[in-house]
Amino acid sequence: MTGNVYWLCLFSILVGLGVGLSQPLSMVVIAESVPERQRAHALAVRLMANRAMQFAAPLLLGIVTQLGGFTLAYLACGVLLLLHWLLFQRLRRQHTIQ
């Protein structure tokens, strides 16, 4: 499937749309969820974490792929996404209760 250049273009466009939507929306969520006097600090922490992960993710996934192949790399990404979703659900429940 990835041998076809048209599929690669389509997937690249979809990834671009996802990142293009999620990055600004995450900034809005952060800005609205902290007090106004802490807004700059919260956005700076988000930006720092984002840049750190943009640097570290390819390195870590490259090591995982080299050691265990693509299947392990995709499995690791799936597990991380599941853990983040569970954490988000827990935090959302705590926020709703308060």
pLDDT at 79: 94
Residue 84: both structure tokens together: 């983040």
Q: What is the pLDDT of residue 2?
A: 57
| Chain segment 30-79, per-residue pLDDT in tens | 999 899 999 999 999 999 998 999 899 999 999 999 999 989 988 998 99
Phi, psi of 34 (to 5 degrees): -120, 155
pLDDT at 87: 93
CA torsion through residues 46, 51, 55, 58, sign = positive
Rounded mean pLDDT, 12-27: 88
Angle at 75 between CA 13 and CA 18, to 5 degrees: 20
- Label residue 22 by pLDDT band (50, 70, 90): confident
